[in-house]
Amino acid sequence: MANVVVVGAQWGDEGKGKIVDWLSERADVVVRFQGGHNAGHTLVVGAQTYKLSLLPSGVVRPGKLSIIGNGVVVDPWALVEEIERLTAQGVEITPDTLKVAENAALILPLHGAVDRAREARRGDDKIGTTGRGIGPAYEDKVGRRAIRVCDLADPDLLAKRVASLLVHHNALFRGLDLPEVAAEDLVSQLREIAPKILPYADRVWHRLDEARRQGHRVLFEGAQGAMLDVDHGTYPFVTSSNTVAGQAAAGSGFAGGLGMVLGITKAYTTRVGSGPFPTELSDEVGRSLGERGREFGTVTGRARRCGWFDAVMVRQAVKTGGIDGIALTKLDVLDGLQELKVCVGYRIGGRHYDYLPALPSLQAAAEPVYERFEGWSGSTQGARSWADLPATTVKYVRRIEELIGAPVALLSTSPQRADTILVRDPFAD
């Protein structure tokens, strides 16, 4: 059995959706293991475009089992809406094809209210959250007061859980000058949504153990990226979960070997929201990358900040995430640029750094040290083999491999599923 874990190696939005969709043809089971509906994946299959937030990208592939693991925080209303929207697009989603971990924590409407109120009060120090309640839901999980999927099956227990939860949250609401939440209203909302969610609830750890014993291939799909990891990212401008490959086992209950770790990275760098970004470009080149790469958030629609490829950051992600190989995406966005730059180090206060320090003040002061490359005039869009790439493109890719300390396993040259160059099959290991 060969399994694969797909994780982002930058600040998210690297194109994981397309890569997972492409790999899912070879997989039997596709698993989301962290994050919530703040993550957005766009899949382009022929003339059809699918926008996913909670559902694993493999859900659009017939005959695959899709799993939402216990490491994901689940907004039940968002999940139902997404299932209905995908169903309307012709995707068949049933309790036989989708399983949701019964021990996954829920995102409630009050979590979004707390999230947005906190962001508003931060003023210029905003984290840049999506305001969808992901962080507060994880806080409740760690604080041992979360409502879980399985609680929806026990009305009496559910009422007790809600009452206990509101002792904490109504105190927060009073401090934020927001109206308190009535327990009976929240219980009523949960009881109403329960019949739409419970048919999908399952012991996903057991399903995955069965898959392991039967020799099935499992594809683990991460959300966000390594530099948004709550431990290893640019804290506090991070998400509220661990985004590195090590979370795949804990976030799904899978006890077998995780297999190859494939890190997804763009041929340049983007970031949404606040936080340090050493290679950010505010000039015409940066604007051009954003326009050509259609750099707008799938979930929020926010414009992404754009900059040159940061090899230091990706090399760090390779080390902290145990990445065995990378999938380089959006190579075609660089077509036509006369000169390319890659960050190979930082200069901070007169000192050279070959890593991104953890101290926020040092991160904010980091100035990139660049290596320059000749661009290419030919088109890489739609290329499906090395022979289709200009020689200068191949030179750029090979140098990136050297700088980050990991080989390129896949190259993506357009949003289309088939426009992918396979260098090394992740499932072959």
**Catalytic residue set:** 13, 41
Question: What whole-number distance in Å separates Cα of residue 32 and Cα of residue 70?
Answer: 9
Question: What whole-number distance in Å separates Cα of residue 426 and Cα of residue 411?
Answer: 13
Which helix (DSSP H) or strand (DSSP E) does residue 50 occupy?
strand 48-52
Question: What whole-number distance in Å separates Cα of residue 226 and Cα of residue 7?
Answer: 7
Is residue 66 within 8 A of residue 97, CB to CB? The reply is yes
Question: What whole-number distance in Å separates Cα of residue 378 and Cα of residue 388?
Answer: 10
Question: What whole-number distance in Å separates Cα of residue 393 and Cα of residue 329?
Answer: 13
Q: Is 232 helix (H, G, I), strand (E, B) or coil?
A: coil
Query: Can you say whether the dihedral through the CA atoms of 205, 426, 22, 262 is positive or negative?
Result: positive
Question: What whole-number distance in Å separates Cα of residue 330 and Cα of residue 380?
Answer: 10
Bridge-based pairing state of the strands 48-52 and 65-68: unpaired
CB-neighbour burial class of residue 347 (10 A; exposed 0-12, middle 13-18, buried 19+): middle
Closest CA to 193 of 80, 308, 288: 80
Bridge-based pairing state of the strands 4-8 and 351-353: unpaired
Tokens matching residue 315: 């090399």
What are the DSSP calls for 60-88, one per residue?
GSTT-EEEE-TTB-B-HHHHHHHHHHHHH
Q: Token pair 């030179």 is at which residue?
A: 395
Is residue 78 within 8 A of residue 45, CB to CB? The reply is no
Question: What whole-number distance in Å separates Cα of residue 155 and Cα of residue 141?
Answer: 20
Question: What whole-number distance in Å separates Cα of residue 74 and Cα of residue 148?
Answer: 9
Alpha-carbon Rg of the chain, whole angstroms? 22
Is residue 7 within 8 A of residue 222, CB to CB? The reply is yes
